[in-house]
Amino acid sequence: MADKPSARSAHHDLQASGPDGIRNVVLVGPSAAGKTTLLETLLATAGAIPRVGSVVDGSTVCDFEDSERTHGRSMGLAVAPVRHKGTKINFVDTPGYADFVGELRAGLRAADSALFVVAANEGVDHATTGLWHECAEVAMPRAVVVTKLDHARADYPGVLAQVQAAFGEKVLPVYLPVHEDGALVGLRGLISGKDLEDEAAERRGALIEGIIEESEDETLMDRYLGGEEIGADVLVADLERAMERASFHPVVPVCATTAVGCAELLDLVVDGFPPPSTHPSPEVFLPSGAAAEPLTCDPGGPLVAEVVKTTSDPYVGRVSLARVFSGTLDADSPVHVSGHFSSFFGAGSGHDDHDDDERVGSLSYPFGQHQEPAKRVVAGDIAVIGKLGRAETGDTLSAVDEPRVLRPWNLPQPLHPVAIEATTKSDEDKLSTALGRLAAEDPSLRIFNDPETHQLVLWTMGEAHAEAALERLRDRFGVSVDTVEVVVPLRETFGGKATALGRHVKQSGGHGQYAVCEIEVEPLPQGAGFEFAERVVGGAVPKQFIPSVEKGVRAQMERGVRNGYPVVDIRVTLTGGKAHSVDSSDMAFQSAGALALREAANATSIVMLEPYDEIAVTVPDAMVGTVMSDLSARRGRPLGTDQEGDRAIIRAHVPARELTHYAVDLRSSTHGSGSFTRRFDHYEPMSEDLARSVTSRS
């Protein structure tokens, strides 16, 4: 999405006549299903590109990022419009891999309908079901596209049966593939189809009944059963309404290699897919948080648009991809940019809140990484805005005199931590700016400077997401980092009472140092923190040095007394000591205090405390056993299991040290069907065996 001039000449005008002349269609489906390749063929079929590029050699319109080219798969959403039969179709390509679900959700927000892509040689697995669920969560109208019909192991009837078994009976083919001598040669339409024999006739019957059952015209079924021939236009109109309600899903077989089915698919999108005006707009609020008048997809209404993606580049600056929900975006006009994540998701969730007035610099239509200049972009359309310096993914753009905030889409929780260190000093200097830019682009990436462990931790969706982030740091910002093991913030406390003497005495020549203090240390209940008391009699430690002792003790507590982790939950009482009229000082008593605490630690046992998180793991019923035994191997304690449909939600307390790789492990042990959430719950003492295995940090 760099701000380069388009490599193609403007083959066709991308200005939409109005919302009804637009279809925003997102491609959703598991990784390697063939979405990016299918889109390439659709673009060529509609005449938007002269030839079809390939994912394998990195020449497609939508996989344009360096890392997408090297890995041969999509990592970010990309938009490519075509004009077909006078209608502008904005196709939105999304990555299928689970790590990039943040991009998928942004893509779902930008669109009004989806092509759910399944490969004819693969069928339906857990990842596919999960993606269907993502669409269902936002009630996305969707058609199923079965692609790769040319594949040697393609099994269209088999995949169709799987899709129907997984997604319901209202998933019905509107076309059937036609083979000649074993080769796919075209499609046979079932809606307007005449003279169909056997299987086709049967499927047509099922389709027509399926559509009519969804029709608002209650006489239609009787007329149909009475033998009346229902017109194709009536059926297509009913299909569109049923799709709109996301209660009916037409199936279209295609082949990206031969383009079979692509023209039919474009026709179906134009005739049967809902326009932006019929798709519910997101909820809208005033900056104060009060609900605002619901949006209508009207180019004459107040401007409300949403940034679904931002890309920053040190040379080009920030480029924002925005879906317009209401009003019209004009080039060179002022806009209000607001992000209020904390009001919707609570503090510390993603981007900081902000409200800024800025000017729309350049305005254009996206075409993969290229752009076509635009003067104005109407409600229902998708635009690229150059140089909105403050815009971050998920922000709302609105009129300066009528500011609005949209409820952001549901952000996924990044649960895979990766600790990083700058490779060199010059990388260190550039790192925080570069990370700030990456986080502005991608709300599913969180940057956390751990104040306890002093580690810089990237919270990511998984290994591929982490790798992509590091590649972007390197390729786009020229910053190289090394990954290091994530340190879980442990704590230390005293196992029993102890008394000790801290003697800091140096009196050989010059100004001496003299401080002696006697302390008593006792453990406090968990969470009590630190208490300091004194019982000094007769001024053995002069009043002004008592705070010095406390300061020294506190400093030592921060540095730890066993493995370098902070000491918590103790009471330290200063019971006595000695001072010298000349050689005692604040510094000397601080040192004595610190030393006394170390001595006290040697006199008793030191207990290591580790953080426990409460997690909730959601898995299909059949996987409960697997998850439970894995959790117990991680020293987890089950708290209970709830049922939600055919899925179980297992709650447990698990040590955070056992969870640093859980996002990746759970996905593989459940074949992509499991998900979880976690939050810190409490600290617990570690067994002495386990504590011995903790490596010292000092």
Ligand X SMILES: Nc1nc2c(ncn2[C@@H]2O[C@H](COP(=O)(O)OP(=O)(O)OP(=O)(O)O)[C@@H](O)[C@H]2O)c(=O)[nH]1
Residue type, 585: S
Secondary structure (3-state) at 237: helix
One residue of 24, 45, 67, 74 binding ligand X per CB under 6 A = 74
Closest Cα to residue 170, out of 224, 214, 230, 234? 214
**Residue 241 dihedral angles phi and psi, to the nearest 5°:** -70, -35
Question: Using CB under 6 A, which residues numbered 534 to 563 contact ligand X?
Answer: none
Which of 35/465 has CB closer to Mg ion?
35
Smallest distance from Mg ion to CB 65, Å: 11
Residue 299 binding target from Mg ion, ligand X, none, CB below 5 to 8 Å by type: none
Question: Using CB under 5 A, which residues numbered 157 to 196 contact Mg ion?
Answer: none
One residue of 11, 12, 69, 151 binding ligand X per CB under 6 A = 151
Which x/- pattern, by CB under 6 A, does the window 228-267 give for ligand X?
---------------------------xxx----------
Which of 127/297 has CB closer to ligand X?
127
Residue type, 85: K
On the 0-12 / 13-18 / 19+ scale of CB atoms within 10 A, 529 is exposed
Give whole-number Cα distances, 209 to 200, 201, 218, in Å: 14, 12, 12
Smallest distance from ligand X to CB 268, Å: 18
**CB neighbours of residue 563 within 10 Å:** 17
Do the Cβ atoms of 476 and 2 come closer than 8 Å? no
Number of residues that bind ligand X (CB under 6 A): 22
Smallest distance from ligand X to CB 54, Å: 6
Smallest distance from ligand X to CB 184, Å: 10
Which x/- pattern, by CB under 5 A, does the window 62-101 give for Mg ion?
------------x---------------------------
Residue 29 binding target from ligand X, Mg ion, none, CB below 5 to 8 Å by type: ligand X
Rounded-to-integer distance, Cα 133 and Cα 167, Å: 10
One residue of 36, 45, 364, 660 binding Mg ion per CB under 5 A = 36
Smallest distance from ligand X to CB 142, Å: 15
Smallest distance from Mg ion to CB 478, Å: 27
Rounded-to-integer distance, Cα 3 and Cα 596, Å: 63
Give the long-range contacts of residues 495-498, CB within 8 A, separation 24 or more: 495/523, 495/604, 495/605, 495/606, 495/607, 496/523, 496/604, 496/605, 497/521, 497/522, 497/523, 497/604, 498/600, 498/601, 498/603, 498/604
Rounded-to-integer distance, Cα 639 and Cα 123, Å: 36
Q: Which stretch binds Mg ion (CB under 5 A): 29-37, 119-127, 147-155, 331-339?
A: 29-37
Which x/- pattern, by CB under 6 A, does the window 26-45 give for ligand X?
---x-xxxxxxx--------
Smallest distance from ligand X to CB 97, Å: 5
Q: Which residues pair with residue 339 across a beta bridge? A: 354
Query: Quick one: CA dihedral 296, 368, 265, 131, positive or negative?
Result: negative
Rounded-to-integer distance, Cα 37 and Cα 53, Å: 8
Which of 32/200 has CB closer to ligand X?
32
Which of 146/606 has CB closer to Mg ion?
146
Residue type, 14: L
Which of 122/240 has CB closer to ligand X?
122
Which of 35/340 has CB closer to Mg ion?
35
Question: Using CB under 6 A, which residues numbered 85 to 104 contact ligand X?
Answer: 95-97
**CB neighbours of residue 136 within 10 Å:** 12
DSSP notation for 595-657: HHHHHHHHTS-EEEEEEEEEEEEEEEGGGHHHHHHHHHHTT-EEEEEEEETTEEEEEEEEEGG
Question: Could you say whether residue 167 binds ligand X (CB under 6 A)?
Answer: no
Residue type, 602: N
Which of 59/677 has CB closer to ligand X?
59
Which of 84/148 has CB closer to ligand X?
148
Smallest distance from ligand X to CB 621, Å: 28
Smallest distance from Mg ion to CB 75, Å: 9
Rounded-to-integer distance, Cα 194 and Cα 212, Å: 18
Q: Which stretch binds ligand X (CB under 6 A): 144-152, 215-223, 418-426, 574-582?
A: 144-152
Rounded-to-integer distance, Cα 52 and Cα 429, Å: 43
Smallest distance from Mg ion to CB 348, Å: 32
Question: Using CB under 5 A, which residues numbered 597 to 626 contact Mg ion?
Answer: none
Rounded-to-integer distance, Cα 495 and Cα 556, Å: 17
Smallest distance from Mg ion to CB 93, Å: 6
Which residues contact ligand X by CB under 6 A? 29, 31-37, 55-56, 73-74, 95-97, 147-148, 150-151, 255-257
Contact residues for Mg ion, defined by CB under 5 A: 35-36, 74
